[in-house]
Amino acid sequence: MKARPSNTRSAISNMPHVLDGLDGRSAPARRFRDLLDSITASYGGVAALSMTELSQARQAAALMLRSDQLQVAVVQGGDADELSRLSDQVRRILVDLQQSVSSRETIAA
């Protein structure tokens, strides 16, 4: 399938680190970008991922960002239940992403 020109795709498709309605200069936006860059780099970068895989990477980055925030709350005496659930969700997403990339690479080989 041939990729469409960038001027016919959404901003999210062209710049996956963009969060609609969020100032990209804020600390959470920068952290999200760092997390997403780290995740995608593990699989060859944004260009190497399909839209579905990129969506999984974005979801994992967003949940990891929330996990960072919850870790502070837990250290301050908060409840760790939500943190535990988020950690499990992130793990499942990353396992699914790894399987997706691996199966695509196997088929291509």
- Is 11 inside a domain boundary? no
For 7, other C-beta atoms within 10 Å of its C-beta total 6
- Is 12 inside a domain boundary? no
Among 17-21, 22-26, 84-88, which is the least confidently predicted range?
17-21
Query: What pLDDT sits at residue 24?
Result: 76
Q: Which pair of tokens denotes residue 21?
A: 């309605």
- Is 4 inside a domain boundary? no
Provide the domain count of the chain. 1
- Is 96 inside a domain boundary? yes
pLDDT of 10 above 70: no
**Which range marks the domain in which residue 101 is found?**
23-108
